[in-house]
Amino acid sequence: MSEAAPLGERCSPALSEQVNNVHRRWITRLFGWLIVAGLVWLAARRIDFGTLAAALRGARFAPLALAVLCNVIANTLARVRRWQALLRPLPNAQPASFFDLARLLLAGYAFSNLLPARAGEAVRVVELRRRRGYPASGLVAVQLAEKAIETLSLGLVCGILSLTAGPGRAPLALGGALAVCGLVLLLALPRRVPAVATGFLGGLRAVHARRSWVRSLCWSLLSDTTDLVLVALCLRAFGIEVPPSAWALVLFSVNLAILLPSTPGQVGVLEAGGVVALTMAGVPPAPALAFALAYHAVHLVPTTLLGVAGLCLPWRRS
């Protein structure tokens, strides 16, 4: 009787590939968590926790409450409209309403806040495909386009604020210059491209051919402007006085820190980005961390609660 074949030979190539993908994902997550742990350890060595507790106790409630309202109303509206503009050109779909997209956007945030590796982005694709019949490849193309639009709008906002006096003007100006180059490149690309592309490439072609990304970019600029207002309100809640260029530096640093998926809700990573930006602007570490914790909570808590509540509501029949 022959010996059993080794496990690697008995597994099908597809199964082996799936196992390898799982291993790679877990290695990536572990690497991200180790980075977060290192940043937290370095920050803990520099922060006076007594001063941090005093700063948190002394926070003013009114600016934080206004920041929550701005995030829930203005930011949600802008981000849903940004997504809706990109979805409009997709073929063979029963258009999703604003309410459909709002609940899925918030549900996606809730999943990403509770699970690692931005699980909410997959939820958005799966649910919109299942509930409204959009092609999955087109939805993935739209998500990629949305990330590009987010990057362009953030760069444009940072570039504008680099013209004001204050700290961090060099990285803000660089981000603005790159965003302008990207915008010019998109505008220069021909709208009529070969129609042979299907699936993922077809989705990108439709988005570009209809110029739906222009409307999406306008809504994204509104979202980033709202985020700047949130930064200003959270800074005011702790009595931190810095110029508008420092607000943009915080926004730039935070988005750079959370660029790669890591911990659930980017806990620790976002705070590190905020502290680095504010210490560059001359703010002591303890108040900077108090701001970062409040700013993160303004985003994390309401979107998670609303996302979970939205999942419990019945879907409207088409």
What pLDDT, in 10s, does the model give residues 64-93?
999 999 999 999 999 999 999 998 888 766
User: Would 186 be classed as within a structural domain?
Assistant: yes
Q: What is the pLDDT of residues 163-194, one digit of tens each?
A: 998 888 899 999 999 999 999 988 887 766 55
User: Would 169 be classed as within a structural domain?
Assistant: yes
Answer yes or no: is pLDDT of 103 > 80: yes
The domain in which residue 83 lies consists of 59-312
Nearest-angstrom CA–CA distance, 80 and 205:
21
Answer yes or no: is pLDDT of 317 > 70: no
User: Would 178 be classed as within a structural domain?
Assistant: yes
Residue 243: helix, strand or coil by DSSP?
Answer: coil
User: Would 97 be classed as within a structural domain?
Assistant: yes
Q: Could you say which DSSP state residue 264 is in?
A: G
pLDDT of 160:
95
User: How many domains would you assign to the chain?
Assistant: 1
* Residue 242 zone, left/alpha/beta (φ > 0; ψ -120 to 50; rest): beta
Q: What is the mean pLDDT of the chain?
A: 82
Tokens found for residue 78: 């802008």
Burial class of residue 307, CB neighbours in 10 A (0-12, 13-18, 19+): buried
Q: What is the pLDDT of residues 220-243, one digit of tens each?
A: 999 999 999 999 999 999 999 999
User: Would 44 be classed as within a structural domain?
Assistant: no
User: Would 279 be classed as within a structural domain?
Assistant: yes
Evaluated on CA atoms 278, 279, 282, 287, the torsion sign reads positive
User: Would 8 be classed as within a structural domain?
Assistant: no
pLDDT of 31:
59
Nearest-angstrom CA–CA distance, 191 and 213:
12
User: Would 252 be classed as within a structural domain?
Assistant: yes
